[in-house]
Amino acid sequence: MALVTSKEMFRKAYDGGYAIGAFNVNNMEIVQGITEAARDLEAPLILQVSKGARAYANHTYLVKLVEAAVAECPNIPIVLHLDHGPDFETCKACIDGGFTSVMIDASSKPFAENIEITKKVVEYAHDHGVVVEAELGTLAGKEVSLGHVAVVGGGNTAMDAARAALRAGALTSTLVYRRTKKYMPADAEELELAMADGVRFLELVAPVEQANGKLKCEVMKLGDPDEKGRRSPVPTGEFTEINCDTVIAAVGERVDSDLFTANGIEVNAKGIPEFRTNLENVFVGGDAMRGPATVVEGIADAQYFANAVIGSVHSVAIPDDAHATRDEAIARKGVLCPPKAGCEGERCLHCNTVCQVCADVCPNRANVVITLPDGRHEILHVDRMCNECGNCAVFCPYDSAPYRNKFTLFLTREGFDESTENQGFLPLEGRKVLVRLDGKVFEADLDGQNQLPADVETFILTVLKDYAYLL
């Protein structure tokens, strides 16, 4: 079945007394998940694409993904709909590009202009057999104006709130965060979509109060990495203000511990119980123990939970290599696969092996194991201690050359300029470093905003702070 318009789909839904789901999509996984679920339920479906999604994922890619879904689910009717098209040009591009339904949202314009733009879209769409939805802009009754909106937070929920505020008619939508964008916990995709939709970002500030149409914030600076490797915000004593009529708090979720305490389950200072609670044969796992998490983390936890519960309740012997602590993994470094169970390959969600062979075989100790704030280990290559003997390349089980491929610490500009194949950094005056990364050479201020990815910045800071003897 080819893509359809919503006209016949809506008529059947009206006669049958049921609703039709409309879902915004922006990548392959979302398209797959939604269409396969609809196929299993034999339910008609509307796949919506926003302005931000078109900017993020590319119009052509999105259309081809939906066409693939139609081919895989031929028995369900599917509409491809433009969600909140901002102007005639966008609507026309979607009509010409294979969409079967478009929405023109000119509600920000004066009503007469809104009607004029909508009429133009309708005429063009109907000439091409495409259905049109329009945004009136004003409903009868009391209207609530959001004005200038400030969203406090940096996670996926904050991104959704900031984008939704713009769609709801906010004059501006500003995301206020106490760190910089690269330390926001939101998915990179969500961040890109928010930027594409026109969300503003006010970084390195902490809200203090909102009054008289202003949000007062204290300016922050980045300190040393915390236990998770993110640089901690440090107050500066300086303040700034932005226009703000509405504040939306999106600073995260927490576990509701009342259920546990009401049933005699002990919790820690953060209100979270242990996996194996103080009550016999009572276990807690998933979001209830760790707070909001990803599906992948949930899947990884599930195997651990199942093994622990089965082993406790039914006294089933669990293999020694079913789950290793970090210390156990380090003790077995170089053993790339557990000897009994074998590796699960591409579906592995928990790596309990550690290599570090390049550090062990280097006669000059030019490859150093760096322990990051969150406990992970990374290899640092020290340029001045390496004579390029090639030992690390010979013994590397991954067919790599650590003296070339590992992030490198340089102590001279000459060494930095000569080793053009090595990514790495050269400490400069103060808290500045010269960095070579992804084919680019640039200077980065570790006390200010810079181009460094968060994990690279944390790595450099850890080296400078905890491994200063290498300098």
Q: How confident is the model at residue 251 (pLDDT cuts 50, 70, 90)?
A: confident
Q: How confident is the model at residue 141 (pLDDT cuts 50, 70, 90)?
A: low
User: What confidence score (pLDDT) does residue 334 get?
Assistant: 57
**Range in 327-336, 343-352, 453-462 with the lowest mean pLDDT:** 343-352
Residue 296 pLDDT exceeds 80: no
User: What confidence score (pLDDT) does residue 134 get?
Assistant: 92
Q: How many CA atoms does the CB half-sphere of 447 hold within 13 Å? A: 6
How far apart (Å, rounded) are the C-alpha atoms in residues 162 and 200? 9
Taking the CA atoms of 94, 96, 101 and 103 in sequence, report the sign of the dihedral they define. Answer: positive
Superfamily of domain 6-134: Aldolase class I (3.20.20.70)
Q: Maximum distance among all alpha carbons in the chain?
A: 79
Assess contact for 410 and 426: CB atoms under 8 A: yes
Residue 261 pLDDT exceeds 60: yes
Average confidence (pLDDT) over 128-157:
82
How far apart (Å, rounded) are the C-alpha atoms in residues 34 and 26? 12
How far apart (Å, rounded) are the C-alpha atoms in residues 410 and 458? 17
Per-residue model confidence as pLDDT tens digits over 368-402: 999 999 888 899 999 999 998 989 999 888 788 99
Angle between helices 59-72 and 28-41 (to 10 degrees): 30
User: What confidence score (pLDDT) does residue 310 get?
Assistant: 65
The matching CATH number, chosen from 3.50.50.60, 3.30.70.1150, 3.40.50.1370, 3.40.50.300, for 148-249 is 3.50.50.60
How far apart (Å, rounded) are the C-alpha atoms in residues 31 and 340? 39
- Which part of the chain has CATH 3.20.20.70? 6-134
Q: How confident is the model at residue 406 (pLDDT cuts 50, 70, 90)?
A: very high
Per-residue model confidence as pLDDT tens digits over 205-226: 999 999 999 999 999 999 988 8
How far apart (Å, rounded) are the C-alpha atoms in residues 164 and 190? 13
Assess contact for 110 and 137: CB atoms under 8 A: no
Residue 143 pLDDT exceeds 80: no
Assess contact for 152 and 158: CB atoms under 8 A: yes
> Mean pLDDT for the chain?
86
Average confidence (pLDDT) over 137-158:
79
Residue 131 pLDDT exceeds 80: yes
Respond yes or no: is residue 83 known to be catalytic.
yes
- Residue 128's alpha-carbon distances to 85, 92, 188, in angstroms, are 17, 10, 36
Q: How confident is the model at residue 101 (pLDDT cuts 50, 70, 90)?
A: very high
User: What confidence score (pLDDT) does residue 111 get?
Assistant: 85
- Please list the alpha-helical segments (H only) found in 342-401: 357-361, 391-395
Average confidence (pLDDT) over 253-265:
85
User: What confidence score (pLDDT) does residue 93 get?
Assistant: 93
User: What confidence score (pLDDT) does residue 148 get?
Assistant: 95
Is the model more confident about 366 or about 136? Answer: 366
User: What confidence score (pLDDT) does residue 137 get?
Assistant: 67
- Going by their DSSP bridges, the two strands 45-50 and 78-85 should be labelled as parallel
How far apart (Å, rounded) are the C-alpha atoms in residues 21 and 255? 30
Q: How confident is the model at residue 78 (pLDDT cuts 50, 70, 90)?
A: very high
Of all residues in the chain, what percent carry a pLDDT higher than 70?
A: 87
Total length of the chain:
471
Q: Dihedrals φ, ψ of 394, to 5°?
A: -65, -40
- According to DSSP, residue 98 is labeled T
- Which part of the chain has CATH 3.50.50.60? 148-249
User: What confidence score (pLDDT) does residue 349 get?
Assistant: 43
Q: Which residues of 147-178 are buried (b: 16+ CB within 10 A; e: fewer)?
A: ebbbbbbbbbbbbbbbbebbbebbebbbbbbb
Q: Is 372 helix (H, G, I), strand (E, B) or coil?
A: coil
Assess contact for 23 and 34: CB atoms under 8 A: yes
Q: Is 214 helix (H, G, I), strand (E, B) or coil?
A: strand
83, 197, 245, 301: the catalytic one is: 83
- According to DSSP, residue 438 is labeled T
Residue 341 pLDDT exceeds 80: no
How far apart (Å, rounded) are the C-alpha atoms in residues 454 and 461? 11
339: which 2 tokens? 């000897």
Assess contact for 207 and 216: CB atoms under 8 A: yes
Residue 348 pLDDT exceeds 80: no
User: What confidence score (pLDDT) does residue 346 get?
Assistant: 43
Per-residue model confidence as pLDDT tens digits over 316-338: 454 555 555 667 666 666 555 44
User: Chain centroid to CA 439: how far?
Assistant: 24
Of all residues in the chain, what percent carry a pLDDT higher than 90?
A: 52
